[in-house]
A and B are shown apart, each in its own frame.
Chain A
Amino acid sequence: MTQIDRKQFKTTWSVKAADHVSSYVITIGGLATIVAVLLVSVYLFYVAAPLMGSGTITGEQQVQAQVTTVVDNSVRSDENSLLIRSLSEAGAITVQRISDGQLLMQSQPPMAPEEISTLWSDPLSEQFLIGLKDGRIIAGRAIAEYSIFSIRPHDAPEMVDGEVIAWHDGLLERKDAELYRYHRVTVTYDAPLGTANGNEIIRLDRIESNDGSVMAACHEDGSLAIYGTNTYENLMTGEIVVELESTVGKPVSIQTRGMPTYMYFLGQGEHIALIWEDGLCERYQTRNEIRHIESCTLIHDEVDQAKAVTACSLLLGRGSLLVGDDEGRVRVYFLIREKDGSTEDGWSFRMGHKINSASASEVINICSSERSRTAGILQADGTLRTMHITTEKEINLVTADVSESAVIGIGPRDDAILCAVEKGIHVWTVDPGHSDISVSALFLPVWYESYPEAEMVWQSSSASDDDEAKLGLTPLIVGTLKATLYSMLFAVPIALAAAIYTSEFMSPRIKAVIKPSIELMASLPSVVLGYFGAIILAPYFEAYLMEILCLTCAVPFTFAVGGLIFQSLPQHYVRLLQNYRLFFVAVCFAIGCVCAVGLAPIVTTFFFAGNFKQWLDGTVGHAFGGWWAVSIPVCCLTLYLMSERFVTPRVIAMACCNSQAKTAGMRFVQAFIVMIAGTCVAAAIAGLAVACGWDLRGSLFGSYESRNALIVGLVMGFAVIPIIYTIAEDALCTVPNNLRAASLGAGATQWQTAVRIVIPTAMSGIFSAIMVGLGRAVGETMIVLMAAGNTPVMDLNLFSGFRTLSANIAVEMPEAVKDSTHYRVLFLAAFVLFVMTFIVNTVAESVRQRFRKRAVNM
């Protein structure tokens, strides 16, 4: 008996098991969900984080020297970091294997070493030139390349996958059974080309232009000549003859102070810079003739002055000149064209960057990368840094034993740093990371090549490979804030006023219909609003711009006038009609629209010289009209608020002894005086602003674009209004009714109750409503994507387009290559957006929680 009883009261194992299992499943599932949601921010940061890191060194090799001295810029490795080549003083190319220094090939130059007067190796390509003592030039190239075999070449030994062996004068690599790669450096020397000037050649440079390669040469007699190759067929022998001829005017004499140490073509070859050891730089123009344009010194600036130029190089695209001095600094000069430049052709050198060094030891050698704006800087104390020039970010730092004649190089994929000294060539394999990104480059002005000053620019894709991507997030952040600002200016007053009216002055029956219908507005997909703004509204805005601007002033004005008229009706009618107030307001709205349409042409002729758009462009009219027109509503509003504070108490004092009609009349007169005074004050302010030389055009106003902030403000306001409205209305509703009853019972009117009791009580709820609306506006994508024009410019012009962070992600993310810098910067943009909304929402949420606690206590 007891046995059975006990069994009945015992919990069956299945119930227990279900309880346990469910508790575990729910806890794990629940926590997992929450963690997954939190993972979003962590993941975004995780992807963006590598942007901030600098490069890393992954390996180090020492290649035994075959020659003691090598020519500047001539140390290069191949794309796979298997081979290294250098040009010796004798004009021979030496190819070695990086892993063990094995000599693979040494080319036979077509001239004797004593014939050579100068050697030049292109810092940005695989070309080299040899100048001879008799004035002839030999062009050559040493191209690292590989050919592919699908079967093992018959004279190669058996290999395993991944093995690399020396074979012929290169390396044979087995990828898999079907893929062998033969890596080698192909060296060619062209036949010597004679120049008209038979004197010894001292300096050489060469550039590829549209009509073939062009060379500049400094001869020993002090003449500077530019040669192009001329190919023709000898009619007698049928033999192809290649000759050098002066293509640009006559050679000019530069023999003022000895031979220059460096000579470079700049840009597309339209400038030549000659640099002497003491820092003097002379620039020659080569457009139609070789002409001296300017002389300047490159190693002096306001702060530092060095004694000598010790190293020099160019950056990719030949737009920047790097000048290293004897005190360890490297200055970067851009050739910039200015409108009112001091030079004859308008171009001049400007120092864009100055890279200082911790140690003051002399810069021995500078090299530059073939694919980015990275440069290597070697100093006499053995520090070898690779720097990204635009962002001034140090990528890698290594040290080596060096001498005066050391030559450095960067691998073709920025993945190796090479340093040739007497003993041999040091090779570091590196991972450059995202060298062109740093925190300051993302958010602060950066001096990009050929820009007249440091600017914040977003330009992720460029027309040519030589241009660098400009990834400044600030214009996008400014665009985001602009969109937010204008939409909030539109949405906040309307949403809050509507919420106050709904919760305080509306009968519950109407409220039950109106509130859900405004909430429904929140559910409209933003793509619909964006389409509506971009395609439907934009043409109307363009056609009726003034009417719409007038609407923003005329409609509130008619509401206020309507109220004034309404209150001057006899008391009896007011009581009768106040239940239908909303209907009369709607009538006022219609009247206001009509007024705006009527007002627009008058405003246009009176303030804006008859054509608003031309006025915006700045072609017609005066700044005064704009200031006046903008100041009038602002002044009227300010004066009205001031009159409420200072004049109304007097009116109240008088109202005690006046009839209702008389008081209403006084209110009318008060409003009228405020308006007149407002107009006058506005004129005074406008006069003052003009006297100060300010113009609204260029800041708040500017040229009209068909997709602009005004449209976005309206449409996004449309999306934000219901959010603010709902939360604010909820907050107002949670104010306990006994407060209202007490206030009304003490004799306050409904308006007084609303303004002095209900709104202050619900203030924190209203604030959080605004913050939530702000959060939505910051992150809204489709509306700005469609209606904002998406030009990443930085201004506050109400009539121009912009690009926000969110729209930028939507536009560029699908095209970004995975794990590229661009991809990661877009992730960073998403992270920034996340942080912006997170801050706004957290503030809103914590204020709301406090409000809830307070409301409960009341």
Chain B
Amino acid sequence: MSDNRTEHVLNKKERFHLLPGLPLIARNEPMLWLTGGALVLSLALIVLLLSYIFYQGGTSFWPQPVEAYVVHDGSTIMGEQAREDTIEVDETYRSQLPEALRAGVTDGEEVERMLIRTANFDVTNTHFHWVDTTELVSVSVPPTATVIERLSWGRFIGTPISLQIQEEEPITDPTAIMEGVDEHLAGIHDVLERRIHLEKATLGEIRAHEESARLESVEVRLEHGEESQHYVEALAAYQVIKEHCVEESASVLAQIENLKKETAPYTLRMATASGQEADIPLEEIVRIYQPNALSFMDKLGLYGARWMEFLFDDPREANSEGGVWPAIIGTVMMTMIMTIFVVPFGVMASLYLSEYAKSGGLMSIIRIAINNLAGVPSIVFGVFGLGFFCTTIGGGLDNWLFPAEVSEGRPVLGKGTILWASATLALLTVPVVIVATEEALRAVPNSMREGSYGCGASKWQTIWRIVMPRALPGIMTGMILAMARGAGEVAPLMLVGAVKLAPELPIDMHGTFIHPERSFMHLGFHIYDLGLQSQNSEAAKPMVFTTTLLLISIVVSLNLIAIWMRKRLARRFVGGTF
């Protein structure tokens, strides 16, 4: 009987081997493919997103050819092609077409159209123009098409007609015009730079000096009263300074006038594709080039120059042109101040939790709370920052330190500032640092601590000389992760101090050098504001993509560093027991 059973089992085993139908079902290949498919899908999403942003961000500064489109009614539209699109033909579409073309299209047909960036906003009142293939007659690439990037009004696309230099006879030869512009542009930019320096730095300093003197007098008034001797004296002192400042600024203004006169007589006359003419003063020109005549190396140079402008210049044209230098500075400064807040406190908290506190019910509640707070929405911290830091603390400090400014309704710290933004983000990221540091402290083997105590070291000596050095990479990882999170976070900043355009950087060469009471620009907020709030979101797209690319590069590289350090840390303690 028992033999029989053994044989039966053996038989079945043999069958399995011979007929692999059963393992096939057990392997459940379709489900396996579905799970694999989910992974492929998520990878595809990342790759698509990143490559799209890299492509758009990377190419938007590459000079595009300028094409001239002759359309049905004989007019010419000249510009860079921004994107293509198709539109389905229907009644409304046909009714907008000129009579002659209506027969050429049928309902339901898809018509291709191109969005042309025609620029010349000052002349035509529009930045873009749609050209449908149905109305297109011919396309050409005029070699003399010229693109001018200007300080105001955005770009100008047209052909040069003449160049007026002071009182001389205008130059009309196209090549001579370009040469002439090239020749004089550098000099004019020099003058312009000097002028801007005078306007911003020198005049600004004089005004700031006067303003601080005035505020001092106001402070005296608030303290001693209107009719007091102190106030009269302070007022007199202020009057002296004011007179001095007025004199000084008058001389600076005269210098500025002179510089203006120096650049004024250079004018470039341009014609648009439709024949309208416009005079462009040379001082308005940031950059001028003929894209269709550029060689590859020229284009590369232009591309590089635009990146330099993007990284190191101030924004122009409601942020849609120029650079993001203030936003970079704002982001970096805010992250740095945040790090200064977050690291000591985060490390102290985790040292307390893992080295000093006695474990118990309370500790586990605290631990749950901290892990929990890592998941609290950032906007909640923003609301807290606005209410607590800006209003309560900032308002309180203002009343105490800056009564003069408050009396004029201009709070110094009682509003959104880079200081409070950093403090808010520090609060937001402190759980990140605590969790990472604790992990690192836990990774230090207890035997090392015991060895240290055994040698007679005190608790602090053990922590400072034995534990902390070993945990340092972990702490650094936490710090970098916190920085990455802080740099990419936008929602709370909208409430506590990020602005679309900050007149002054939070760091400069005046006064205390670092100005924690100023509002600031931020790359992430810049993307939000430019992408969604700007008047002309189509024209702002290149800027948004480049800013996105920049922000992603910063955040991703910070994260990569953290991942790399975490790996190194893990390797270091593998088999690190004594």
For the complex, is A175 an interface residue (Cβ under 8 Å from B)?
no
In chain B, what residue has the closest Cβ to A832? B380
Which residue from A23, A657, A779, A809 sits with its C-beta under 8 Å from B460?
Answer: A23
Selecting from B33-41, B120-128, B154-162, the interface stretch reads B33-41
- Chain A nearest Cβ from B320, distance in angstroms: 14
Q: How far is the CB of B452 from chain A (nearest CB, A)?
A: 13
For the complex formed, measure the closest distance between the CB of A592 and the CB atoms of chain B, giving whole angstroms.
8
B282 at interface by CB-CB < 8 Å: no
Q: Indicate the member of B19, B353, B375 with the most A CB atoms within 10 Å.
A: B375
Which chain A residue has the least Cβ–Cβ distance from B392?
A: A43
Please name all residues of chain A whose beta carbon is closer than 8 Å to the beta carbon of B555 when the two chains form the complex.
523-525
Report if B318 contacts A (CB, 8 A): no
Tell whether A11 is near chain B: CB-to-CB under 8 Å.
yes
- For A564, the chain B residues whose CB sits under 8 A away are 29-30
Bound-state CA distance A833–B434 (Å) is 23
Q: A33-B348, A560-B33, A845-B368 are in contact. Are A725 and B42 (CB under 8 A)?
A: yes
Interface residues of A in 565-607 (CB under 8 A from B): 566-567, 571, 581-582, 585-586, 588-589
CA distance A520 to B556 in the complex (A): 7
Q: Mark B361-385, 1 if CB is under 8 A from A, else 0.
A: 0001010111111011111111110
**What's the least CB distance linking B287 to chain A, in Å?**
27
Q: Are A40 and B376 in contact (CB under 8 A)?
A: yes
Which of A68-76, A211-219, A834-842 participates in binding chain B?
A834-842
B563 CB to nearest chain A CB (Å): 6
Q: Are B372 and A563 touching (Cβ within 8 A)?
A: no
Given A500-B35, A571-B20, A810-B491, answer yes or no on A834-B30 (Cβ-Cβ < 8 Å): no
CA distance A555 to B431 in the complex (A): 40
* Closest beta carbon of chain B to A590's beta carbon, Å: 9
Bound Cα distance from A728 to B377, whole angstroms: 21
Q: Is the CB of A37 within 8 A of B548?
A: no
B contact patch SS: helix
Residues in B whose Cβ lies below 8 Å from that of A651: 25
Residues of chain B within 8 A of A725, CB atoms compared = 42
* A748 contacts B by Cβ under 8 Å: yes
Task: Tell me which of B350, B377, B384, B460 contacts A18 (CB under 8 A).
Answer: B460
A495 at the interface (CB under 8 A from B): yes
A531 contacts B548, C-beta separation under 8 Å? yes
State the interface size on chain B (CB cutoff 8 A): 106
Min Cβ gap A828→B in Å is 10
Once A19-B459, A34-B349 are accepted as A-B contacts, the answer to whether A518 and B46 lie under 8 Å apart by CB is: yes
Contact of A818 among B391, B464, B528 (CB under 8 A): B391
Counting CB contacts under 8 A, is B537 at the interface?
yes
Given A30-B352, A33-B345, decide whether A656 and B383 contact each other with a Cβ distance below 8 A: no
A752 within 8 A of B: yes
B370–A30 touching, CB < 8 Å: no
Q: Given that A498-B39, A782-B490 are known contacts, is A40 also in contact with B34, CB under 8 Å in the complex?
A: no
CA distance A527 to B25 in the complex (A): 46
B488 at interface, CB cutoff 8 A: yes
Stretch at the interface among A198-206, A290-298, A310-318, A658-666: A658-666
- A627: Cβ under 8 A from any B Cβ: no
Given A535-B531, A560-B30, A652-B25, A494:B42 Cβ within 8 A:
yes
Q: Are B43 and A518 in contact (CB under 8 A)?
A: yes
**Is there an interface contact between A528 and B548, defined as CB atoms closer than 8 Å?**
yes
Complex Cα gap A652–B19 (Å) = 12
B491 touches A782 (CB 8 A): yes
Q: Given A15-B458, A22-B463, A555-B37, check contact A525 B25 (CB 8 Å).
A: no
From the candidates A18, A586, A810, name the one contacting B495 in the complex (CB within 8 A). A810
Q: Mark B547-577, 1 if CB is under 8 A from A, else 0.
A: 0100110011011100100000000000000
**A814 close to chain B: CB less than 8 A:** yes
Q: Are A842 and B368 in contact (CB under 8 A)?
A: yes
**Which chain B residues border A822 with CB–CB below 8 Å?**
none
Q: When the two chains form their complex, are residues A29 and B352 in contact, meaning their CB atoms are under 8 A apart?
A: yes
Whether the pair A585, B356 counts as a contact (CB closer than 8 A) is no
| Interfacial chain A residues near B455, Cβ < 8 Å | none
Among B349, B485, B541, B563, which residue has its beta carbon within 8 angstroms of that of A516? B563
| Contact bitstring A45-85, B, C-beta under 8 A = 1, else 0 | 00100000000000000000000000000000000000000
In this assembly, does B494 line the interface, its C-beta being within 8 Å of a C-beta of chain A?
yes
Q: Which residues of A contact B458 (CB under 8 A)?
A: 11, 15-16, 18-19
Residues of A within 8 A of B434 (CB): 33
Contact between B366 and A34 (Cβ–Cβ < 8 Å)? yes
Residue on B nearest A38 in the bound complex, by CB: B369
Chain B residues numbered 11-66 whose CB sits less than 8 Å from any CB in chain A: 15-16, 19-46, 49, 52-53
Does B461 make an interface contact (CB < 8 A)?
yes
> Counting chain A CB atoms within 10 Å of each CB, which of B34, B357, B559 scores highest?
B34
A501–B38 touching, CB < 8 Å? yes
Q: Is the CB of A837 within 8 A of B376?
A: yes
- Determine whether B344 belongs to the interface, using a CB cutoff of 8 Å to chain A: yes
Contacts of B479 in A (CB 8 A): none
| Inter-chain contacts of B53 with A (CB < 8 A) | 528, 532
Also in contact, A718 and B349, with CB within 8 A (given A527-B528, A582-B36, A657-B19): no
Any A CB within 8 A of the CB of B226: yes
> Which residue on chain A has the smallest CB distance to residue B371?
A845
* Among A143-151, A264-272, A770-778, the stretch in contact with B: A770-778
* Contact digits for A507-535, partner B, Cβ 8 Å, 1 yes 0 no: 00000001011111101111111111011
A780 within 8 A of B: yes
Return the CB mask of A818-858 against B: 1 if under 8 Å, else 0: 10000000110010011001101110111001000000000
| CA–CA, A780 and B490, complex, Å | 11
Contact yes or no, B46 A751, CB < 8 A = no
Whether A502 sits at the interface, judged by CB under 8 Å, is yes
Which A residues are CB-close (under 8 A) to B431? 37
**Assembled-state Cα–Cα distance A785/B493 (Å):** 14
- 21 A/B residue pairs, CB under 8 Å, sorted by A: A29-B352, A32-B345, A37-B430, A40-B373, A44-B383, A494-B42, A500-B35, A502-B39, A519-B563, A532-B49, A535-B532, A535-B544, A566-B29, A658-B21, A663-B21, A721-B45, A749-B23, A779-B379, A781-B378, A813-B495, A838-B376
Q: Which residues of B contact A (CB under 8 A)?
A: 15-16, 19-46, 49, 52-53, 226-227, 344-346, 348-353, 355-357, 364, 366, 368-373, 375-384, 386-388, 391, 427, 430-431, 434, 458-461, 463-464, 484-485, 487-491, 494-495, 524-525, 527-528, 531-532, 537, 541, 544, 548, 551-552, 555-556, 558-560, 563
**Among all A-B residue pairs, the 5 with the closest Cβ atoms:** A779-B377, A30-B352, A663-B21, A525-B488, A563-B30
Hey, which bits of chain A sit against chain B, CB under 8 A? 11, 15-16, 18-19, 22-23, 25-27, 29-34, 36-40, 43-44, 47, 177-178, 493-498, 500-502, 505, 514, 516-521, 523-532, 534-536, 555-556, 559-564, 566-567, 571, 581-582, 585-586, 588-589, 648, 651-652, 654-660, 662-664, 667, 671, 718, 721-722, 725, 748-752, 772, 775-776, 778-782, 785-786, 806, 809-810, 813-814, 818, 826-827, 830, 833-834, 837-838, 840-842, 844-846, 849
List 18 additional contacts besides A30-B353, A567-B27; criterion CB under 8 Å: A19-B461, A30-B357, A32-B345, A33-B430, A494-B41, A517-B43, A519-B563, A520-B46, A525-B487, A527-B528, A556-B34, A662-B21, A749-B26, A751-B27, A810-B382, A810-B494, A830-B383, A830-B384
